[in-house]
Structure 1
Amino acid sequence: MATALSKANPLVYEKKERPARTRPGDAGFHEYEPELIDQLEIFDILLNIKDPEHPYSLEELKVVTEDVDDKRSYVSVTFTPTIEHCSMAKLIGLCLRVKLIRSLPSRFKVEIRVASGTHKEEDTLNKQLNDKERVAAVLENPNLVDMVDECLTPSYE
């Protein structure tokens, strides 16, 4: 990944304990009940994404917030780069988008945004991360796909 760190010592938080969720195959889960996609579900999907520059997850850095409307099939994720000129912001946003696309039913519209006022190229990043053709073109690059997959691979430290 990157060799020079943008922010060598980011603020790191403890991981939260989460309540157990009933999933397909669990006792008490009924297949005929459609699975509700809620904020906790999105949080669970995104919690193990690794920061490309640090050995921490985005959860530990507390840089992601989720907004979900299951009835409208809409998920919005906002992330806050650790510094305003973060060179990895585009890769982080791409990782968030790819993880959600791979994990959610296809009925969902996904929006990824950089938190307002937190990056010097906020408008450009938001346009790029939400343009389907640009994202598809980027994902044709095997080197970038490898970088995304590396960030999405859970670490079991």
Structure 2
Amino acid sequence: MVSALINANPTVYEKKDRGARKQSTNDGDEYAVEPIDDLEIFDHIRDIKDPEHPYSLEELKVVTEESVEVDDKRSYVSVTFTPTVEHCSMATLIGLCLKVKLIRSLPLRYKVDIRVAPGSHASEASVNKQLNDKERIAAALENPNLVAMVDECLAPTYV
């Protein structure tokens, strides 16, 4: 996907076996809404593929369970991610992948906030500004080449 790797030899971590999550019942109320929690959000983003490597964001510890915060009552989701290197040129693309995956997965009422972990990227403020600007996200998603790259990162893997 990229001609020259920024981090040619990333540290790869083992993925946690999460198994099947227990589904709770609504006690017959067909209109009851199950609250969304941190682990459910993490389950949505853990298998996103890194743009440079054949590993998931979880395997590279770009995202962790602890990096996700959900306030279901306020319809707010926050994900803080940590690029593998301080000068990662893919940080904005990774953040865009996270944002798109959650926008596609969550009800429209949710505000999704994606941020680079403090001190983990040389252009932290710039990346954060781009990832949380609605107009920049909309413009990015009008670019067919960028959408193809995002879709490739979000494509399911069958190992």
- Common topology (TM > 0.5): yes
| Matching residue of 1:93 | 95
Aligned to 2:50: 51
Q: Identify the residue that residue 115 of structure 2 maps to in structure 1.
A: 113
Partner of 2:72: 70
**Is 1:146 aligned to 2:148, yes or no?**
yes
Unaligned runs of 5+ in 2: none
Measure how far apart 1:19 and its partner are: 4.7
Alpha-carbon contact 1:84-1:119 (below 8 Å) kept: yes
3-state SS, counterpart of residue 25 of structure 2: coil
Aligned: 1:12 with 2:8? no
The verdict on how the C-alpha distance between 1:34 and 1:22 changes in structure 2, with shifts beyond 3 A counting, is farther
How far apart are the structure 2 equivalents of 1:81 and 1:62? Answer: 8
1:32 deviates by: 3.5
CA contact (8 A) 1:67 1:76 kept: yes
C-alpha separation between the residues in 1 aligned to 2:133 and 2:93? 14
1:127 aligned counterpart, secondary structure: helix
2:134 is aligned to 132
The 1-side partners of 2:54 and 2:16 are apart by 18
Instruction: Tell me the CA shift for residue 145 of structure 1.
Output: 0.2
- The equivalent residue for 2:106 is 104
* TM value normalised by structure 1: 0.93
The alignment covers a number of residue pairs equal to 153
Cα root mean square deviation, aligned: 1.2
Offset of 1:22 from its aligned partner?
4.2
Q: CA deviation at 1:35?
A: 1.8
For the residues of structure 2 that align with 1:90 and 1:54, how far apart are their CA atoms?
16
Q: Is the 8 A contact 1:49 1:151 kept in 2?
A: yes
1:12-31 matches, cutoff 5 A:
12-23=12-23, 29-30=25-26, 31=30
List, as ranges, runs of 4+ consecutive aligned residues in structure 1 with deviation greater than 2 Å: 19-23, 28-33
Instruction: Give the Cα–Cα distance (whole angstroms) in 1 for the partners of residues 121 and 46 of structure 2.
Output: 22
How far has the Cα of 1:66 moved from its partner? 0.6
Contact 1:22 1:29 in 2 (8 A): no
SS in 2 for 1:56: coil
CA offset at residue 5 of structure 1? Answer: 0.8
Which amino acid in 2 is paired with 1:5? Answer: L
Aligned sequence identity (%): 73
